[in-house]
């Protein structure tokens, strides 16, 4: 039977253990543990400070590099696209601000950019596919035709191409009533927005791509990506010199730039730039047109599938 003495001995043992712990913690063990913790904290603090310094140094270097590119771009691309008319079309997700930035860069190279077209999400929406097809049939100019087995995505892209590009450089930049009717009809139906006069068609076309979005769990984006890829493919088929340009990261899986580069047929006729959100990328966009006009399309930037950072245009003359 447990008696009072047992409880008393147990309580004394507990208090002795606590006393020993306090003594050891404040005495022989205190300094080594405290010194170790303090030493590690100091090391981490120093490492963090060094990382911050390195980050600031890299930021300064990048800022200096971009400032250099910005200052030298006029000398590098100025006049390179003189006498050309460039159509500008943005895929769903591209903003008006991004389109205006690209437009300014092309105009700095001497190109005329009469307007821009931004496709809306309805262009790829499966629940509006029939409405889009009906609208295109209603608005399609009589000079547009395609084989009966042409996919709906290709038909839509071909009709869009009729509204913004021409294979005849002599006709570029001239207002086209049929193109105007087509684009205004698609705008009224909510399939695109238009700025200024994109119906003054270009013989060159810049297709702006957004960053790829992470698919939702279980979401199949195959159809949407096919619809988007049809746009640059059909623009090139219509005879326009075509460059797809996206921001850093647009060459990653799921992006339009990546899809162009991974399709050998499209990649052979459509150029790409994967860093148009940087000063270097905007200069590269103009230079990509210079190379493509000289029958040398390519894929530029730092992303997957790029041939080189920028085109080699040594010896290339404007034409």
Give me the CATH number covering residue 286.
3.40.50
Residue 306 domain flag: no
Q: Which residue bears the tokens 């199949």?
A: 220
Tens digits of residue pLDDT in 155-184:
999 999 999 999 999 999 999 999 999 999
Regarding whether 156 and 36 lie in a shared domain, the answer is no
Looking at per-residue pLDDT, the higher value among 316 and 61 belongs to 316
Regarding whether 49 and 92 lie in a shared domain, the answer is no
Burial class (CB within 10 angstroms; exposed 0-12, middle 13-18, buried 19+) of 69: middle
Query: What are residue 86's DSSP bridge partners?
Result: 204
Regarding whether 98 and 35 lie in a shared domain, the answer is no
Instruction: Give yes or no for residue 65 having a pLDDT over 60.
Output: no
pLDDT at 78: 83
Q: How many CB atoms lie within 10 A of CB 76?
A: 16
**Contact at 8 Å (CB) between 139 and 179?**
no
Q: How many domains does the chain have?
A: 2
Regarding whether 131 and 43 lie in a shared domain, the answer is no
Regarding whether 106 and 46 lie in a shared domain, the answer is no
Q: Averaged over 115-142, what is the pLDDT?
A: 95
Q: How many CB atoms lie within 10 A of CB 122?
A: 17
Q: Averaged over 287-304, what is the pLDDT?
A: 95
Name the pLDDT band for 147 (thresholds 50, 70, 90): confident
pLDDT at 82: 95
Tens digits of residue pLDDT in 298-316:
999 999 999 999 998 765 5
Name the pLDDT band for 54 (thresholds 50, 70, 90): low
Residue 261 domain flag: yes
Regarding whether 89 and 53 lie in a shared domain, the answer is no
Regarding whether 177 and 28 lie in a shared domain, the answer is no
Could you tell me the pTM of the whole model?
Answer: 0.79
Regarding whether 88 and 18 lie in a shared domain, the answer is no
Boundaries of domain holding 218: 82-300
Percentage of the chain with pLDDT > 90? 66
């Amino acid at each position: 039977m447990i008696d009072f003495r047992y409880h008393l001995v147990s309580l004394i043992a507990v208090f002795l253990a606590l006393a020993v712990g306090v003594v050891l913690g404040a005495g022989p063990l205190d300094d080594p543990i405290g010194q170790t913790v303090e030493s590690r904290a100091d090391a981490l603090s120093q490492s963090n400070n060094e990382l911050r310094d390195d980050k600031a140094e890299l930021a300064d270097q990048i800022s200096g590099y971009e400032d250099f590119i910005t200052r030298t771009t006029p000398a590098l691309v100025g006049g390179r696209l003189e006498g050309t008319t460039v159509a500008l079309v943005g895929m769903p997700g591209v903003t008006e601000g991004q389109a205006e930035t690209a437009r300014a860069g092309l105009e700095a190279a001497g190109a005329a950019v009469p307007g821009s077209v931004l496709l809306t999400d309805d262009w790829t929406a499966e629940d509006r596919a029939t409405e889009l097809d009906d609208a295109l049939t209603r608005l399609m100019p009589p000079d547009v035709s395609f084989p009966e087995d042409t996919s709906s995505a290709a038909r839509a892209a071909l009709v869009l191409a009729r509204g913004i590009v021409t294979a005849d450089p002599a006709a570029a930049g001239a207002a086209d009533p049929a193109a105007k009717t087509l684009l205004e009809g698609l705008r009224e139906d909510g399939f695109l927005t238009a700025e200024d006069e994109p119906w003054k068609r270009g013989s060159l076309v810049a297709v702006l791509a957004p960053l790829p979005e992470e698919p939702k769990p279980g979401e199949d984006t195959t159809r949407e990506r096919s619809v988007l890829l049809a746009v640059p493919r059909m623009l090139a088929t219509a005879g326009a010199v075509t460059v797809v340009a996206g921001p850093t990261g647009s060459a990653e899986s799921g992006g339009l730039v990546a899809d162009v580069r991974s399709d050998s047929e499209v990649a052979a006729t459509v150029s790409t730039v994967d860093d148009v959100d940087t000063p270097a990328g905007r200069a590269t966009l103009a230079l990509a047109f210079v190379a493509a006009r000289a029958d040398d399309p390519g894929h530029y930037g730092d992303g997957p599938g790029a041939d080189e950072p920028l085109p080699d245009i040594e010896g290339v003359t404007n034409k």
